[in-house]
């Protein structure tokens, strides 16, 4: 669905993304992780066609997104981290923007607004940031676009809303859709994102399914840090170790621990998973 080859991009002379190669397939909710400034938002903007790559290619079902052709754009929606909304109610907002997307499901939109406890008769500008975000998440999901890109969607959401968000997203997911979520709040999206993409300033380190990660890495809670662990972290229940899965032991993938293990052992991870 989305193929990125040898992508490079920079702001002025400052390179932000280089050597980005990846394929994103429908039927998945990708979690895009990386430290601040590695270019996660930039990558989402490039996929959306909002930026032009310095070199390399992005292919979305045979189209170059930067051409911003209506046929391509009607299948993509990008929900940014911050937004400025017009002085309209969620209903009026949908009346303004939904007609551009033929697959918009108004019933789903109203259901989601209700589920998120967003008052559809209050102007968006009068809402708190969290309420605005929920309204926009409801709108984004209801559009039913084939590609949905979300930048830090759980930022500003309270604890119940995060759970509602996960529930809404997973129930709206179908085999012909692809969702990419860029986030720092990995814990908020545990059990939702799969595959996981981790990138740094040198490119994509990891782009694998949770299953393949658990086949190669072992996450265990022990009394002490293991000497052969790629990463160890002291937690309330003991020491969380991430080590190479020498046998075929099954374990739960802790995304934050995985992220830290990947950051500290770039070369090991790259050779383990391939690019």
- Name the site residues for another protein (rule: CB under 8 A): 11, 45, 48-52, 68-74, 76-78, 80, 82-84, 86-88, 96-97, 99-101
Minimum Å distance from CB 117 to another protein? 24
Instruction: In angstroms, give the least distance from the CB of 71 to another protein.
Output: 6
The CA distance from 69 to 81, in Å, is: 24
Instruction: Tell how far CA 17 is from the center of its chain.
Output: 17
Alpha carbon distance 204, 197 (integer Å): 7
Rounded to an integer, what distance in angstroms lies between the CA atom of residue 272 and that of residue 275? 9
Cα gap 109→184, rounded to integer Å: 27
- The least CB distance from residue 67 to another protein, in Å, is 8
Cis? peptide before 183, omega within 30° of 0: no
Query: Whole-angstrom Cα distance, residue 22 to residue 32?
Result: 12
| 3-class DSSP assignment, residue 100 | helix
Nearer to another protein, 109 or 231 (CB): 109
DSSP for 149-190, written as a single string: EEESTTTT--HHHHHHHHHHHHHH--TT-EEEEE-S-GGGGT
- Classified as helix, coil or strand, 211 is helix
Closer of 96 and 221 to another protein (Cβ): 96
Cβ nearer to another protein, comparing 181 with 257: 181
Shortest reach from residue 41's CB to another protein, in Å: 10
- Closer Cβ to another protein, 97 or 110, answer by number: 97
Task: In angstroms, give the least distance from the CB of 154 to another protein.
Answer: 19
User: Which is closer to another protein, CB of 52 or CB of 187?
Assistant: 52
Minimum distance between the CB of residue 73 and another protein, rounded to whole angstroms?
4
- Reference 265, options 216, 225, 231, 220; nearest CA is 231
**Cβ proximity to another protein, 48 vs 183, nearer residue:** 48
């Amino acid at each position: 669905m989305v193929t990125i080859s040898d992508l490079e991009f920079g702001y002025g002379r400052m390179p932000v993304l280089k050597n980005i190669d990846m394929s994103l397939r429908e039927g998945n909710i990708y979690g895009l992780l990386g430290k601040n400034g590695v270019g996660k938002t930039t990558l989402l903007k490039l996929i959306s066609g909002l930026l032009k790559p310095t070199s390399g290619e992005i292919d979305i079902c045979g189209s170059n997104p930067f051409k911003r052709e209506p046929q391509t754009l009607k299948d993509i929606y990008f929900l940014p981290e911050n937004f400025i909304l017009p002085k309209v109610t969620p209903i009026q907002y949908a009346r303004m923007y939904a007609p551009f997307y033929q697959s918009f499901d108004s019933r789903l939109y109203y259901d989601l607004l209700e589920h998120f406890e967003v008052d559809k008769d209050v102007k968006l500008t009068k809402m708190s940031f969290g309420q605005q975000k929920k309204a926009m998440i409801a709108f984004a999901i209801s559009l039913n676009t084939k590609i949905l890109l979300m930048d830090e969607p759980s930022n500003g959401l309270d604890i119940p809303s995060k759970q509602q968000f996960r529930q809404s997203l997973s129930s709206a997911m179908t085999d012909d859709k692809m969702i990419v979520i860029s986030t720092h709040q990995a814990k908020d999206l545990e059990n939702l994102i799969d595959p996981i993409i981790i990138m740094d300033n040198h490119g994509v380190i990891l782009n694998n399914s949770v299953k393949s990660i658990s086949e190669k890495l072992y996450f265990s809670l022990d009394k002490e840090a293991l000497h052969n662990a790629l990463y160890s972290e002291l937690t309330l229940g003991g020491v969380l170790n991430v080590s190479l899965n020498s046998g075929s032991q099954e374990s739960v993938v802790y995304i934050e621990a995985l992220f830290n293990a990947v950051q500290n052992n770039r070369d090991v991870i790259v050779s383990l998973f391939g690019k």
